[in-house]
A and B are shown apart, each in its own frame.
Chain A
Amino acid sequence: MDQGFFLLFATVSVVTALTVVLARNPVHSALALMACFLNISAIFVLLEAPLLAVIQIFVYVGAIMVLFLFVIMMIDVHEAVLQRFLPGGNLPAMVLLVVLGIEMLVLVLWSDRFAVTEPVAMGGGDQIKQLSTTLFADYLLPFEAASVILLAALVGAIVLARKEQG
C-alpha cells in the first residue's frame, strides 16, 4: 500500500522534474515544477512529516512559483523560448553528470546503512508540539537569523527590482 503510493508519487515527480529541464517554454517548466513540488509534499506526508508537507505547499507552490510566473509575465520570454535544449552540446558537463549519478547510485546501492526498512517509532506524544518546542527553544538563534535573512532578502529584492531614478 505504502510502496504503491510511494512509487506513484516518485514516478510522477521524476517525470515532472524531467519536464522542467527539457521543456522549451519557461512557463511549461514552471507549471511542471509546481506539479513536482505537489508530489514531493505528498512524499513528505508518506514520511509522516505533515507540517513540512503543508509548508512545502504554502512556500513553494503558493509563494515561489507565483513569484516565478509573475517574473515570467513581467519579462519578455519570446527570445528565450526559441533556444533549444541541446543534449551533448556541453560534453564536460554531461560527463560530470553521468559520473555524479553513477557514483551516488553505486554508493547508495552498495552501502548497507540504507537498508533500514522499519522506521524508529517516534517517541509518542504530539509530534508537532515537540517540533515547535525544539524549534522555538533550542533553535531560537538560527530561527532569528533566518528571519533577519528573510528581511534582508525582502529589502534587497525591492531595491534591486526598483526602477533607477533618473
Chain B
Amino acid sequence: MMVPLSWYILLGVVLFVIGAAGVLLRRNILVVLMSLELLLNSVNINFIAFGRYYGDFRRQIFAIFVIAITAAEVAVALGILVALVRNKSTLKVDEVTMMKG
C-alpha cells in the first residue's frame, strides 16, 4: 500500500502550523530559533514529497540548499544570541529593543 501524496502534505501543514505557533507565541529566543528549524523542515518534506510523486529529483537539490542555508542561519543567529546575552543578559524576545530609536 503506497502512501498518498496528500498525507505528506498534511504532515507538512501540521508541522508548519506547530512551528509557526512556536515562533509567534513563545517568548524565549532559543525556542523561537528551534521553531524556525521546524518550519524549514516542514517545507523540506513538501519539496521531497512532490519530487518523489512527480518524478523530479531536482527538488532534492532544493532541499539540500535549504539545509545549507539553515545551517548558516543558525550559526549566525546563535552568534548573535551569545553576543546579546553577554551584553544584555536576557533571553526574552520582547526585551530586545536596542534597535528601537
Q: Is B96 an interface residue (CB 8 A)?
A: no
Give which listed residue, B4, B30, B85, contacts A117 with CB less than 8 A. Answer: B4
B contacts with A: majority SS: helix
Least Cβ–Cβ distance between A98 and chain B, in angstroms: 9
Enumerate A1-47 residues with CB–CB distance to B below 8 Å: 1-3, 6, 10, 13-14, 17-18, 20-21, 23, 26, 29-30, 33, 36-37, 40, 43-44, 46-47
B76-97 vs A, Cβ < 8 Å mask (1 yes, 0 no): 1011111101100111100000
Which of B3, B75, B91 interacts with A2 by CB under 8 Å? B3
B13–A108 touching, CB < 8 Å: yes
Chain A proximity mask over B23-47: 1 for CB below 8 Å, otherwise 0 = 0111110110111011001001100
Selected A-B contacts with CB under 8 Å, 23 pairs: A3-B1, A17-B19, A17-B38, A20-B18, A21-B19, A21-B21, A26-B34, A33-B37, A44-B45, A47-B48, A59-B67, A68-B78, A71-B82, A89-B25, A90-B25, A97-B17, A115-B6, A116-B4, A116-B5, A146-B68, A146-B69, A150-B68, A160-B82
Residues of B at the A interface (CB closer than 8 Å) are: 1-11, 13-22, 24-28, 30-31, 33-35, 37-38, 41, 44-45, 48-49, 51-55, 57-58, 60-61, 63-65, 67-76, 78-83, 85-86, 89-92
Closest 9 CB pairs of A and B: A120-B55, A153-B72, A160-B79, A157-B79, A93-B24, A21-B22, A114-B6, A80-B91, A101-B17
